[in-house]
């Protein structure tokens, strides 16, 4: 798709996993079964030997753009704070499994997070720990997909995994029978065809950094680790060049 040459999938030494808020809960913002499932997937991912940084979303708590009574900026600030709540939960749970975790936030909350520091993150990853990035980009009008794209560039990740609740990118609504699954495509195609799976800002940052992304079903048991091993799951999105 959009390129005559099929790309070889990257087996990364360092990856950013973007976990949407939906991974933490659905009917309730935080559901213990969902959180246990995430922990399990992260543990399997670590066992591949890949260095893992995680960017967490906050859609299970609040999405700024969907709030009727709030201004957009107030809603977005609340949204970014929501990502910090998820990050606190993830850090607590990973630490209870003796995984060393650094919780870095683009949105200052000094008592519970440290500021984003690519240097400190780099060292911690080299030492075998996990870095959890929260607070999105620290700015309204963005999403945590853009944060994942930015952090991946800053820490020199070779791959971004975006876990969603669909198996990848389709030509239209995945629920519609005529929508076709796209096993691979370029960021350029994603932006040009307005495929609504990551926002254009995130896709453009990925074009700039040149880091590919696998968009896959987070709820497909074991898929996170398999994606890190280069298995052809989900949709592989890569820069055109
Ligand atoms: N948000 C923001 N700036 C950012 C990242 C997130 O304002 O850089 C806000 C925005 O309101 C968004 C909410 O935080 O709706 C939750 O983030 P996101 O929608 O990316 O979470 P996900 O859908 O991945 O759970």
| Domain over 14-238 is classified CATH 3.30.420.340 | no
Can you give the residue ranges of every domain in the chain? 14-238
CA–CA gap between residue 80 and residue 25 (Å, rounded): 17
The pLDDT of residue 5 is 66
The pLDDT of residue 26 is 86
CA–CA gap between residue 113 and residue 119 (Å, rounded): 16
* CA 139 to mean position of chain CA atoms: 17
Q: Is 139 in the pocket of ligand 1 (CB under 6 A)?
A: yes
CA–CA gap between residue 61 and residue 57 (Å, rounded): 9
CA–CA gap between residue 36 and residue 211 (Å, rounded): 29
Going by alpha carbons, the residue nearest to atom 15 of ligand 1 is 63
Residue 233 CA to ligand 1 centre (angstroms): 26
Question: What's the average pLDDT block by block, 10 residues per block, for the chain (241 residues)?
Answer: 69 97 93 96 97 97 94 97 98 97 97 98 98 98 97 98 94 90 94 87 95 96 97 95 71
pTM to 2 decimals? 0.96
Q: Is 163 in the pocket of ligand 1 (CB under 6 A)?
A: no
The pLDDT of residue 2 is 47
Residue 7 CA to ligand 1 centre (angstroms): 30
Residue 3 CA to ligand 1 centre (angstroms): 31
The pLDDT of residue 3 is 46
Residue 32, CA distances (Å) to 27, 122, 135, 146, 198 in order: 12, 30, 22, 27, 27
Mutate to test the pocket of ligand 1, among 19, 21, 62, 79 (most ligand atoms within 8 A of CB): 79
């Amino acid at each position: 798709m959009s390129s005559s040459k099929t790309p070889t999938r990257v087996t990364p030494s360092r990856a950013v996993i973007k976990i949407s808020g939906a991974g933490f809960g659905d009917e309730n913002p935080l559901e213990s079964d969902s959180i246990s499932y995430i922990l399990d997937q992260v543990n399997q991912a670590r066992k591949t030997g890949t260095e893992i940084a995680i960017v967490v979303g906050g859609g299970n708590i609040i999405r700024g753009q969907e709030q009727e009574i709030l201004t957009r900026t107030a809603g977005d600030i609340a949204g970014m704070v929501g990502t910090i709540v998820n990050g606190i939960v993830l850090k607590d749970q990973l630490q209870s499994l003796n995984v060393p975790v650094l919780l870095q936030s683009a949105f200052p909350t000094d008592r519970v997070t440290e500021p984003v520091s690519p240097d400190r993150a780099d060292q911690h990853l080299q030492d075998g720990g996990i870095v959890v990035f929260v607070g999105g980009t620290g700015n309204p009008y963005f999403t945590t997909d853009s944060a994942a794209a930015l952090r991946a560039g800053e820490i020199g990740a070779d791959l971004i995994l975006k876990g969603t609740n669909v198996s990848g990118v389709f030509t239209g609504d995945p629920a519609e029978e005529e929508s076709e699954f796209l096993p691979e495509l370029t960021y350029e195609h994603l932006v040009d065809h307005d495929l609504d799976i990551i926002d254009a800002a995130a896709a453009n940052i990925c074009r700039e950094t040149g880091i590919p992304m696998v968009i896959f079903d987070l709820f497909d048991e074991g898929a996170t680790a398999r994606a890190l091993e280069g298995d052809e799951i989900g949709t592989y999105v890569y820069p055109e060049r």
